[in-house]
Amino acid sequence: MNHRWELLADINLVGAVTISDLCPWLVWVFFVPGDGIIYFLSRYQATATFLEITPGTYGNWATGLMSSAAWLIGAYCALLVTVAIISAIFETVPEAPGNS
């Protein structure tokens, strides 16, 4: 298994969990979508060879772009779902008596 998929509590390997582990955790979480795409593509040898995917491909600028796109699409979908739920709630609330 690739070490990229193991989230360590002491991610900066100083021997204890400290506040300085927070930034590397956020970076790790940010790159998960792009690294997941690279991992999926690397499972197919012909594709990996054509795209020149190596272990050094994880966490680089290309996976950063893929992760950014994935997070933006995810945020947009979450916004759409939230708006749909709020719309459904307020459309089904009965109107107060006397308000015409």
pLDDT band per the 50, 70, 90 thresholds, residue 1: very low
Domains of the chain by residue range: 3-92
CA nearest to 42, candidates 63, 72, 73, 61: 63
Give exposure, 41-59, as e/b (b: 16+ Cβ within 10 Å): ebeeeeeeeeeebeeebbb
pTM: 0.70
How does pLDDT run across 64-77, given as a tens digit for each residue?
Answer: 999 999 999 999 99
